[in-house]
Structure 1
């Protein structure tokens, strides 16, 4: 027969608190998964939407939305930046960015040209020449890639030759390097089969996609069940063992 020992008040409080915390974390992960799925749906819808003039959304872009815009300007073709941390395939490669000068505007718009695959070695891929003169471009007005801890500080300031390379794209560093202000987002150009660059842009959830949030939620709920199970095991009292008299 199994009997229960009366638990100490602190053990009850600790168990309930831990289980509640794990459940709350699991629910939060589920909410994050739903939020990111909604962002992905809006992203997919934006790629098919008709473009609006950049000036309508440039300075104050709508939060959690990705407008498709049209803009005219000319590339500063000698000021290319390469983001060398994306890995779209086994060969590596770089994501290329170039500032776009808009007529009568001191601010520059950083344009994401797309991904240029590498050749499997450590050399920077050969960049194709950029078109000259006034251009009309279309694409999604997206938040810049995420930044992180860059050891050694501003990598752009120490480079004297172009294109400049960094493992993170910090718009503040780029603006300082160019000596001109930038718009708060980047223009990710529409896909173009004729372009050398791969432009299958995707909103960056590679580090934490919705499915991973749900996996973490399941893990947190499992921790909550484990805490209650451990509490039950530690506070049960078994009856004396029966022995056979011979």
Structure 2
């Protein structure tokens, strides 16, 4: 260390605190990446998992799993909601959601019917009619789509006719719109070859996938290394200038 000056205590303290903070943030990002990858694996395995009793998971679903359930009831067929920003293909289209009334249960269950492809002209696709009689549904009990900022506030409240369109579907806004409470999760229906809907469900981590968490972790670790390098550069002895 003869080529370096002795740093002051506050320079050492500041560098150590910054480096430890950056390392801690990097480790947290790695943990988030591992957590999301584990959720994706559980979600993929849920499609072939044994069926569970809906009554046992309805109000308090497990945070880290996606139960396969079966429910009976009827649709509110004239109260459809269209999510207008799914990224299934380049032709546009909508993800269609319908409220479902369960037997003797006041909360409504929001059902993800699937993605209805568009024809490339920007218009809403023609929605097939839903059955008006009692129906039995099977699928995964999953969290609702992520909610983001929408200009103008509640878009559903400003619309007077169904189906209603939104770029984000907030369960709280849907509950207010329907005047009835919703279950905390929704039902993503099983794939059906006879259905016009495309049902390829996955967890939406598009804004922050596991790979991006790892990229941020690398960035934080780089900052920690940079803090140490800056300390060394600042305290490096300089050769005296020749007169």
Q: What TM-score do the two structures reach when normalised by structure 2?
A: 0.94
Distance (Å, rounded) in 1 between the aligned partners of 2:83 and 2:116: 10
User: Matched residues in 1 for 2:53 and 2:165: separation?
Assistant: 31
The corresponding residue for 1:79 is 79
Q: Distance in 2 between matches of 1:230 and 1:126?
A: 62
For residues 163 and 105 of structure 2, what CA distance do their matches in structure 1 show? 24
Tell me the equivalent position of 1:145. 145
Match of 2:224 in 1: 224
For these two proteins, the number of residue pairs brought into alignment is: 243
SS across alignment from 1:52: coil
- Tell me which residue corresponds to 1:54: 54
- Which residue pairs with 2:162 in the alignment? 162
Q: How does 1:106-117 map to 2 (within 5 A)?
A: 106-117=106-117
Which residue of 2 is the match for residue 215 of structure 1?
Answer: 215
- SS of 1:227's partner is helix
Q: Distance in 2 between matches of 1:27 and 1:134?
A: 51
CA contact 1:33–1:211 (8 Å) conserved in 2: yes
Q: Is 2:126 the counterpart of 1:126?
A: yes
After superposition, residues 15-34 of structure 1 pair within 5 angstroms as 15-34=15-34
Tell me how far apart the structure 1 counterparts of residues 97 and 165 of structure 2 sit (CA, whole Å).
10
**How well do the aligned residues superpose, as a CA RMSD in angstroms?**
1.8
Structure 2 residue 189 is the aligned partner of structure 1 residue 183: no
Per-residue deviation at 1:105? 1.7
The offset of 1:162, in angstroms, is 0.8
How far apart, in 2, do the equivalents of 1:140 and 1:12 lie? 54
In structure 2, how many angstroms separate the alpha carbons of the residues matched to 1:29 and 1:174? Answer: 33
Determine which structure has the larger strand proportion and give its number: 1
1:154, CA displacement in angstroms? 1.2
Which residue is equivalent to 1:203?
203
Q: Aligned-pair distance for 1:40?
A: 1.3
- What is the rounded CA distance, in whole Å, between the counterparts of 2:47 and 2:211 in structure 1? 23
More deviation, 189-198/74-83:
189-198
Cα deviation for residue 242 of structure 1 reads: 7.6
| Alpha-carbon distance, 1:238 to partner | 3.1
* Distance in 2, Cα, partners of 1:234 & 1:121: 61
* Matching residue of 1:104: 104
Q: CA deviation at 1:137?
A: 0.7
Q: Which runs of 5+ in 1 are unaligned?
A: none
| CA shift for structure 1 position 16 | 1.3
Q: CA deviation at 1:119?
A: 2.3
